[in-house]
Amino acid sequence: MNKLSYFFILLIGCIACQDATINSEGEVLPDYTNVEKWGLFELSFEAEELEDPYSTPPLRGIFTQNGERKVVNGFYDGDGVYKLRFMPTSFGIWEYQLASELDSIDGIVGALNCTAPSENNKGMVQVHDTYHFQYKEGENYFPFGTTLYAWFWQGDDLEDETVQTLRENEFNKVRMLVFPKNYPYVQNMPQEFPFEGNTPGNFDFNEVNYEYFQDLEKRIEQLMELGIEADVILFHPYDYWGFSSMGMEANKKYIQYLVARLAAYRNVWWSMANEYQLVENLDDAEWNELGRYVAEQDPYGHLNSIHNANGGFFDFTQPWITHASIQVQDLDPLIDWKQQYNKPIVADEVGYEGNIPYKWGNLSAEELIFRFWVGTARGGYVSHGETFQHPNNVLWWAKGGQLYGEAPDRIAFLKEIVKNYGKGLQGKAGEDYIAEGEGYVLHYLGKANMQDYSYDLPDNSTYQVDIIDTWNMTIENAGDFQGNVSLQLPNKPYLAIRMQRK
């Protein structure tokens, strides 16, 4: 067979036919390549290298099923290899036709069969009920994320250690940069860079280093296997090499390429920037242009936001923004932000448990857990980070490795509580940290030392009342109540009262 006409199909994140679930919807068909719903279907071709396989997608696929049509860009992956990835979103036969300036690829047609998802495949996360999140499969998703800005280019040993630490903990979202970072405690040079070159001013933004992006997607795949969402940050200001000032044309080429590579991974979220105000040469209008461009390029509609420095929020009412990703220390106004933006609020940076000599990086575990509970009781979500000094500057927030703090176990405790309150809580405005759901009230008492507690229940039903010690991670059943809850408390901080209709 002529090498230029040779092509083969790889299935990444897909289940072989004999392992897939067979049912009336999503059944396996032996005459087709079977790909589970929200799995990843990949076509790979060997052909001559185009003069410029980066600026314009070198191939494109049109996937159709029962009137639904998705146009998917492919990409060049180096060494004469071209790839195209597709995530099927509904059961049954998807037909495809490819277009390319390469004669050996142009006009290829084929089909795949979308089968039932495997047990751990719940689909993409989407906004649900205005202020909350849900997997496409229908299960509620409550983000309890952590921050690992520069972890994927730290070398295999440290990266593998990070994956193992994530496997042993309960975080279900990771915030991570695409571009290398130059910042205190993160000043080691990457072995690879995203573009050809190795020194500032010497990078060719039209020449991709494919190994860099192969490493990135390898780690995103591992997160997917662990059930962890990858919050992929496209731009940031902590730059030494010029990646934050490439210009709009280069920015769009990079976005087009990255979306073509990553959009078929169901666990990807987009974040336009970390601390967007600090990125030079991009104003709000240009951020909006780039945000809209991501939405245009992404055929699946992954979540997208933009993260602020301490100088105020972006306009989260923009239609390309799905949720508000904020940096803030005081979460008391979270209810107001929900009403202002009418979107979920994720406090992705509230400070870090650690002991470095920066105010943002030396929170006690008690203070970080306090902020988690305040954000939860206000009806939002909070992300974790850790910055303990390390002899080799291996701080979790940047490089990963191991966790040393006291917060992760207590975050896992809160996550288990949150899983049981349905689709999400709505915080009640006021000084108290009170959130209500259907037949459910969570009252966080914060730092108050209280002995006498009283609360009027929202209806005449019987409620089981529990006293939660959020620090010591204990739950004490205080009995059943109707009308009014009256309790004697142990006069210590960080308690919460949970009231559930029986």
Q: In percent, how much of the chain has pLDDT > 90?
A: 90
Q: What end-to-end distance do the CA atoms of the chain give, in Å?
A: 69
Whether 24 shows a pLDDT value over 80: the answer reads no
Task: Tell me the pLDDT band of 217, cut-offs 50, 70 and 90.
Answer: very high
Tokens of 231: 């919050």
Whether 68 shows a pLDDT value over 70: the answer reads yes
Residue 213 is predicted with a pLDDT of 98
Residue 7 is predicted with a pLDDT of 39
| Chain segment 296-335, per-residue pLDDT in tens | 999 999 999 999 998 899 999 999 999 999 999 999 999 9
Query: Bridge partners of 418?
Result: none
Provide DSSP, 61-101. EEEEETTEEEEEEEEE-STTEEEEEE---SSEEEEEEEEES
Number of Cβ atoms within 10 Å of the Cβ of 496? 21
Residue 267 is predicted with a pLDDT of 98
Q: What is the mean pLDDT of residues 428-447?
A: 91
- For 195-267, list the strands marked E by DSSP: 195-196, 204-208, 229-235
Give the separation between CA 295 and CA 302, rounded to whole angstroms. 8
The one-letter amino acid at 9: I
Whether 13 shows a pLDDT value over 80: the answer reads no
Residue 14 is predicted with a pLDDT of 38
Measured in whole angstroms, how far is the alpha carbon of residue 491 from the centre of its chain? 39
Check the CA dihedral 129-86-307-251 and report its sign: negative
Whether 22 shows a pLDDT value over 70: the answer reads no
Residue 311 is predicted with a pLDDT of 82
**Contact (CB, 8 A) for 333 and 340:** no
Q: In percent, how much of the chain has pLDDT > 70?
A: 95
Farthest-apart Cα atoms in the chain, separation: 83
Mean of the per-residue pLDDT values of the chain: 93
Task: Tell me the pLDDT band of 238, cut-offs 50, 70 and 90.
Answer: very high
> Running DSSP on this structure, what letter comes out for residue 133?
E
Residue 69 is predicted with a pLDDT of 97
| Chain segment 115-159, per-residue pLDDT in tens | 999 999 999 999 999 999 999 999 999 999 999 999 999 999 999
Nearest to 491 by CA among 434, 443, 452: 452
Task: Tell me the pLDDT band of 16, cut-offs 50, 70 and 90.
Answer: very low
Give the separation between CA 243 and CA 376, rounded to whole angstroms. 36
Residue 230 is predicted with a pLDDT of 99
**Domains in the chain and their CATH numbers?**
3-115 (2.60.40.10), 125-426 (3.20.20.80), 439-501 (2.60.40.3950)
| Chain segment 350-378, per-residue pLDDT in tens | 999 999 999 999 999 999 999 999 999 99
CA Rg, the chain, in Å?
A: 24
Q: What is the mean pLDDT of residues 92-115?
A: 97
Q: List the alpha helices (DSSP H) in 230-314.
A: 248-262, 284-297
Tokens of 46: 């060997």
Residue 3 is predicted with a pLDDT of 35
Place of tokens 């070159």: 197
Residue 430 is predicted with a pLDDT of 83
Residue 64 is predicted with a pLDDT of 98
